[in-house]
Structure 1
Amino acid sequence: MNTEYISYEFPLNERMRVFIRLEQLFLQLDHFLAGSNIWDKRAAVSTLVDILQVFSRHDLKAETLKELERHSNRLNQLSNHEGIDTKRLRKILDDLNSTSKILYATNGKIDISSLKSDLFQTISQRSSIPGGTCSFDLPSYHYWLEQEKERQNEDLDMWISLFSPIRTAVDLILNFIRRSGSTTRETAHKGFYQATLEQTQPYQIVIIKLLRDTPYFVEISGGKHRFTTRFMQPSTSNIRPKQAETDVDFLLTLKIMETELSEVVIFSP
């Protein structure tokens, strides 16, 4: 293992939940696209179907544009402050603005109808059935999986291109947020910890880190007002997980969006 800690990340609002789910799916997609056999291609297409389902349930274009605009407005307010690294600020604002322009240029909501591919739409429809994309169910898919890698990659690139602007924006937003916040050492008494959040602060994500050899995992719940954590012993055999009976030390970081983010990203040392 390369890290001393295991991190548990929990989003504090629905927008962050969707963004982090998408981020994980895109990383999963990258992994399978790097493979070369039929099962890698099947897994990549299946992940694309999952991404499409997330898109179909949310107006991600509108949500992402709101978040980009919020970051841009905040950074513009700081442009005249002393100690600002103006070159770095300009680069960040250019990234935000160019990403927003690409999204604005995208027509309408992205969903299954946006994909001009009969094959992918058929795969998507059959994917809700366990094993529904078998060769005897979808001979056209079976044929596609047997084609040369170049042909498959051409189709995959076409399907993935629809999601690329949103992915760029989500990566940008999450990167900004994760670079904010300060870390404190806390103790969960008998495996329980609860905190109330300041209403004046736009908290986005909670991150809890446990030393890798700590014999517990963390269950986190909460929203914009407070969050609760329970440190649980993993299940063994037929015994369900149970809360720790001893105090547990951990690292806590509350990720925010406004002032702290600006100081981390654009103030000169």
Structure 2
Amino acid sequence: MIVYEYPFNERIRTLLRLEDLYEKFMFFVQQGHPLQHHVALSTIFEMLEVAGRADLKSDLLQELERQKQVLQAFRANPNVQAEALDAVLDEVDSISAALIASGGKTGQNIRDNEWLMSIRGRTIIPGGACEFDLPSYYAWQHRPAQQRVEDISGWFAPLAPLFSALTFVLRLLRETGRPTKIIAQAGSFQQMLQGKVYQMLRLTLDERLGAIPEISANKYMLWVRFTVQDGDMKPRPYDHDVPFDLALCNF
């Protein structure tokens, strides 16, 4: 099965972009080749670009506090396991405390590092990080792999609380969705949302179908149109019935 997610607003779109970059970073930083570590470092620069567009830290802190209030209200519910609830609340407190303690603007430690900023400036240019452009960076790439990992991990460390928070918030959001089995007749599906506000859509289908969903939505209507790619990768309409699971997520 393959899961497609569609954000309904700019806030969730930003969180999903950062989550994608974080997964990419975690993969490449754990590798051993200098080129893989170059990708890991470049990904940190991309994180700064995305995170710098909004005051994510305060936004996440507000959301964590809101979720804490919602979760505490479940204490009066006899069907809720107290230990499990306490564990989640402790996790919220821990993530919030780390985010508050991080202080300052997101990624300021990197912006204050002239050497890293010189690399960032060159990576924007196609092929701009060659050894003749950045000999000191080329020399760093020839250091032992473990030392490069420690350096990159150290540069990323001040960003870690932000990513712990957004990972937790997205996890809670995904858990609010209740999958519904649907069949898109002749590759098309529409649903009236009647003005109800959602944060995210999750669509799950069998990847063996080869069907690719194109999703558009507003607060009134959701439209899913399936396509398939031919030999030259050009999409064309998928005109067969498509069974899939649909989950609409909202805090």
Equivalent residues of 1:219, 1:230 under 8 A apart? yes
TM-aligned CA deviation for residue 198 of structure 1: 5.1
Name the aligned partner's letter for residue 243 of structure 1: P
TM-score (norm 2): 0.92
Q: Over aligned residues, Cα RMSD in angstroms?
A: 1.9
Q: Distance in 2 between matches of 1:159 and 1:224?
A: 41
Which string of whole-angstrom CA distances, capped at 9 and with x for unpartnered residues, describes residues 67-122 of structure 1? 21221111112222222211111111111122112222232321456544222111
Confirm or deny that 1:58 pairs with 2:47.
Answer: no
Aligned residues: 251
Q: Is the 8 A contact 2:211 2:227 kept in 1?
A: yes
Instruction: Specify the alignment match of 2:37 in structure 1.
Output: 41
Structure 2: which amino acid aligns with 1:240? Answer: K
Asked if the contact 2:186–2:242 (Cα under 8 Å) also holds between the matched residues in 1, the reply is yes
- Mapped to 1, the partners of 2:46 and 2:108 lie a distance apart of 11
1:256 maps to 250
- Following the alignment from structure 1 to structure 2, what is the Cα–Cα distance between the partners of residues 121 and 225? 45
Secondary structure of 2:79 counterpart: coil
Q: Distance in 2 between matches of 1:224 and 1:15?
A: 16
TM-fit CA distance, 1:53 = 1.0
| Higher mean C-alpha deviation, range 101-110 or range 64-73 | 101-110
Contact 1:22 1:51 (C-alpha < 8 Å) held by counterparts: yes
Bigger mean CA deviation after superposition, 116-125 or 134-143: 116-125
Q: Which residue of 2 aligns with 1:264?
A: none
What is the alpha-carbon distance in structure 2 between the residues aligned to residue 130 and residue 211 of structure 1?
38
Identity fraction in percent:
31
Match of 2:86 among 86, 90, 114: 90
Q: Which of 128, 132, 135 is residue 132 of structure 1 equivalent to?
A: 128
Normalising by structure 1, we get a TM-score of: 0.86
Contact 1:115 1:159 in 2 (8 A): no
Q: 2:209 aligns with which of 204, 208, 214?
A: 214
Are the equivalent residues in 2 in contact too, given 1:145–1:152 (CA < 8 A)?
A: yes
Structure having the larger proportion of residues in helix:
2
Distance 1:240 1:9 in 2: 22
CA distance in 1, matches of 2:82, 2:210: 47
Question: What is the alpha-carbon distance in structure 1 between the residues aligned to residue 188 and residue 226 of structure 2?
Answer: 6
Structure 1 CA distance, aligned partners of 2:57 and 2:219? 23
- Structure 1 residues 116, 141: closer, same or farther in 2, change over 3 A? same
Identify the residue that residue 110 of structure 1 maps to in structure 2.
106
In structure 1, the gaps of 5 or more residues are 258-269
Unaligned runs of 5+ in 2: none
Given that 1:197 and 1:224 are in contact with CA atoms closer than 8 Å, whether structure 2 keeps it comes out as: yes
**Match of 1:185, SS?**
strand
Match of 1:79 among 75, 84, 96: 75
Instruction: Select the residue among 153, 164, 170 that pairs with 2:166.
Output: 170
The counterpart of 1:191, out of the listed 187, 202, 220, is 187
